Amino acid sequence: MREKIKTCIKGLDELMTGGIPQGHVVLISGLPGTMKSSIAYNILYNNAIQENKKAVYISLEQGRDSIIEHMAGLGMPHEKVENLVNIVDMGYLRLHMEENASEQQSWMDIFKMYAENLKTNTDYDLLVIDSLPVLELLAQMKDRRSDLFHFFGWLRELNITTFIVVEASSETGIVNDEDFLADGIIRLKKERQGYDISRQIVIEKMRGTKHGTGLFTLLHDGKEFQLTRAIGGT
Ligand SMILES: Nc1ncnc2c1ncn2[C@@H]1O[C@H](COP(=O)(O)OP(=O)(O)OP(=O)(O)O)[C@@H](O)[C@H]1O
Ligand SMILES: [Mg+2]
């Protein structure tokens, strides 16, 4: 049996008979402000603390300091895991790329080389890419389907478990290429309930594991995420 990577969201791992199969490429998908980045960081943070796993969080939109501040507010101070969780933002990446770029290499080639070298040097287990739309923009993907197909294939060969943040809504009925290519989809939703916004989570797909498909309310108590049964969810 393949090792399972825990999401460390109370109630979610039980729903997936223990967690996400190691080696998967999983989308964390949802509209703005549905806590995609927080969920992704939560996985890295708790796997560092509980399982001593190494991770890299590549943030292509939000700056490193802003992420660290936000996560500290959610009870996940980076200094507790700084030896295991490496947060890399666009500023850092750009600097690295300028130093290593050659005329012939595309942005994507340099990005891949960076992730591969880091894998050789630090042997990380988990990777977050936040987010796919920005990666596409920077890589100037032209044939989206084919480019993504090769990118996902390359990720699988790295022998890591990857979480890709995607800004998407499931309500439009449009199914994107990445939804087919990914091994798993964790979909985040939000819904107005009177004065409040309620956040919800659903495992839309998870290859290689039995999983529940219910819609659950996602709560954060200041320290950790947990699921409860959705009330009035769609
Ligand atoms: N201390 C906190 N406790 C609970 N919720 C918080 C706290 N701080 C921020 N939030 C909520 O977290 C949300 C943002 O979380 P996050 O950045 O993870 O979402 P996101 O889906 O990645 O957003 P974006 O689409 O902007 O990237 C805010 O909209 C806010 O409602
Ligand atoms: Mg985000």
Evaluate whether residue 228 is within a structural domain: no
- Any ligand 1 atom below 6 A from CB of 59: no
Mean pLDDT for the chain? Answer: 93
Atom of ligand 1 nearest to the CA of 197: 31
For residues 64 and 42, give the distance between their C-alpha atoms in angstroms, rounded to a whole number: 15
Encode pLDDT of 128-149 as tens digits: 999 999 999 999 999 999 999 9
For residues 10 and 137, give the distance between their C-alpha atoms in angstroms, rounded to a whole number: 35
- Other CB atoms within 10 Å distance of the CB of residue 190: 16
For the chain, the domain total comes to: 1
pLDDT at 189 over 70: yes
Residue 40 or 107, more confident: 40
pLDDT at 193 (0 to 100): 85
Confidence band for 54, pLDDT divided at 50, 70 and 90: very high
Mutation probe of ligand 1 site: the residue of 9, 29, 38, 134 with most atoms within 8 A of C-beta: 38
Ligand closest to CA 36: 1
Confidence band for 34, pLDDT divided at 50, 70 and 90: very high
Q: What stretches of the chain adopt beta strand conformation (E)?
A: 4-5, 20-21, 25-30, 55-59, 85-89, 126-130, 161-167, 184-193, 196-206, 216-220, 225-229
For residues 125 and 162, give the distance between their C-alpha atoms in angstroms, rounded to a whole number: 9
Evaluate whether residue 194 is within a structural domain: no
CA distances to 54, 101, 156 from 26, in Å: 18, 29, 11
* Residue 18 near residue 47 (C-beta atoms within 8 A): no
Nearest alpha-carbon partner for 17 in 232, 203, 215: 203
Tokens of 171: 């309500």
**Range with the poorest average pLDDT among 4-13, 24-33, 58-67, 96-105:** 96-105
pLDDT at 234 over 70: no
pLDDT at 230 (0 to 100): 65
Domain membership of residue 140 as a residue range: 21-188
Evaluate whether residue 160 is within a structural domain: yes
pLDDT at 231 (0 to 100): 60
The stretch 47-60 carries a mean pLDDT of: 98
**CA 149 to centroid of ligand 2, rounded, Å:** 23
Evaluate whether residue 13 is within a structural domain: no
For residues 194 and 234, give the distance between their C-alpha atoms in angstroms, rounded to a whole number: 15
For residues 81 and 89, give the distance between their C-alpha atoms in angstroms, rounded to a whole number: 17
Of the chain, the end-to-end C-alpha distance in Å amounts to 35
User: Looking at residue 184, which CATH number applies to its domain?
Assistant: 3.40.50.300
For residues 74 and 222, give the distance between their C-alpha atoms in angstroms, rounded to a whole number: 5
pLDDT at 158 over 60: yes
Evaluate whether residue 7 is within a structural domain: no
- Any ligand 1 atom below 6 A from CB of 168: no
Evaluate whether residue 86 is within a structural domain: yes
pLDDT at 40 over 50: yes
Atom of ligand 1 nearest to the CA of 41: 18
pLDDT at 228 (0 to 100): 92
Evaluate whether residue 169 is within a structural domain: yes
Evaluate whether residue 51 is within a structural domain: yes
Backbone angles phi, psi at 7, to 5 degrees: -80, -20
The stretch 152-181 carries a mean pLDDT of: 92
